Amino acid sequence: MELFAGGGGLAMAVHRAGFRPLLVNEIVKHACETLRINAAEPRGEVERIPEPGERWPLIEGDVRGIDFGYLWDRVDLLAGGPPCQPFSLGGVAKGDEDKRNMFPAMFRAIREIQPKAVICENVQGLLRPSFRPYFDYIERELRLPFEEREEGVSWREHDEVLRVRLAEESTDSKQRYDVITTKVNAADYGVPQIRNRIIIVAFRSDLGVDVERFKVAIRPQYSEMALIRSMLDGSYWERHSDVPNHVRRFVMARLPDVLPVDDGKPPWRTLRDAIKGLDGQRRLPRVPWDRLDRREYGLGGFVDHIGWPDARIYPGHTPNELDRPAKTVKAGVHGVPGGESVLLTDDRVPESEDGTPSGYRHRYMTVRETARVMTFPDDWKLAGPRGEQMRQLGNAVPVALGEFFARAIAAALDEAESRR
C-alpha cells in the first residue's frame, strides 16, 4: 500500500520490486492525474482487493479520511514519503508543529493494517539538531505504533510512555517493529543525482527478519572514487567518445593526479550518462539553441523534451555539469536557489555573446532530462504544466533508489518466511 504517492516514483519502484499494489493514495490534483494516466484508476466507494494485473486502485484525497481496515493483515509493505516540507531546509521548517506533518497518518495506517514491513523516505533535515529529538520520537513511535497517542497529549509526553514500554519488552511481537534508519546519497545507488535523504525501514518483530543481514544488503553500491578513476584511466571517455576534446580537458584539469584505489564498485552515474541513456534507454536529442521557446517539437519522439528560455547562472546559482551526477532535483520550477534546473552544455559561448565564468553555454534542463535524473522511465507521462511536472519530480523518490531498497525488503521477508 502506498501513501503520499505523488508522481509515482516510490509506487513504481515497489511495483518493479515484485509487490502488487493494493491501494495508492494522493491528494494533489496533477499528481493524481499522472497516476491515472500511467498505472492507476479510481477505486470508488467499494473496498476490494484488486486481482493480479489490474491497475492500481487509487483514492484521491486526504489520507486522514481513509479507512484502511479492510486491508488488515493483507499488506506486506506499507510505503510512503510523508511530506518533507515541515523538515526541509527549503521549507518553513516548523517540524512537528506544521500541519503538513503526516507521520501521524502513517502510524494510523500501520495500526489499521499491521503490515509486515514499512518504508518511508524523507529529507535529512529530520536529523538536524533542532529536529533530532522529534525524529528519535518518530523512530520510537514506529517501534510501537499500536501505543497510540491520545488526543491532547503532547509528543514529549507520549515519548516518555514509549520509552517505558520499550524498556519493558512485553508488547505482542506482532505490534512491535524493528527499525533501521539509513542516511543515503542516491548517487551511491546508481541514480545520476546527488540526493541526500534518509530511508526508514521497519520489519514486524514476530517475523524474525535478520536486521543485521539487511543492513549489509543495503550498503552503497556505486562510488565517486570509481567515477574519478574511470575518467583518469579513460574508460569513462571511451563510453562518451563524442565529447569534444576541450570539454574533456576542462573536466580532467580539476581531477586529482593520483589514480584512486579501486574499491570494486561501479562508478557514479553522471548527467551525461542519463542523457545518453541508462539501462537500455535511447539517447535524448540535443535541444537546438533556436528552440528555447516553450514549444513541444517532439524531439526524437520524446515527450516533455522542451527547450525553455532565460536560464541564468551567477554566484550561488551555478549549473549542473554533464560529467557529474546532477544536483538534487527540487520541487520548484526556475526560481529554486542553487541552479538545480540549469545545465552547462558542451557548447562554447560565441564571441558575440557575453562570457560566463566557464566559457560554456547553459540552458534550463527539460522535464524529460529531469525525469531521467530521477530514473523515471521515458514512457511515464507527467501531467500538468511544466511547473507541476517539475514539482512532482522534485517531490518523488528516484525510482532506482526505491527499487533497490524494495528488493532488499522483499528478499529479507522471503528469507524470514523460509526459516519459519
Using CA atoms, how far residue 141 sits from 94, 109, 146, 149, 177, in Å, is 20, 13, 8, 9, 9
The 3-state DSSP class for residue 233 equals: helix
Which grid cell sits at 144? 510501537
Pairwise CA distance, residues 260 & 256, whole Å: 9
Q: DSSP assignment of 235-289, as one string?
A: HHHHHTTTS-HHHHHHHHTTS-SSPPP--SSPBPP-HHHHHH-STTPPPPPP--G
Residue 57 phi/psi, 5° resolution?
A: -70, 125
Sequence-distant (6+) residues with CB within 8 A of 360 are 247, 250, 344, 345, 346, 347, 348, 349
> H helices of 39-176, where?
103-113, 132-143, 155-168
Residue among 17, 35, 79, 84 flagged as catalytic = 84
Pairwise CA distance, residues 43 & 59, whole Å: 6
120 is catalytic: no
In contact, 183 and 198? CB cutoff 8 Å:
yes
- 254-263 residues labelled b (16+ CB within 10 A) or e (exposed): eeeeeebeee
> H helices of 291-385, where?
367-373
Q: DSSP assignment of 366-394, as one string?
A: PHHHHHHHTT--TT----SSHHHHHHHHH
Nearest CA to 5 out of 148, 109, 132 is that of 109
Q: DSSP assignment of 53-74, as one string?
A: TPPEEEEES-GGG---GGGTTT
Strand order of the β-sheet with 320-321 is 320-321, 342-348, 360-364
**Active site members:** 84
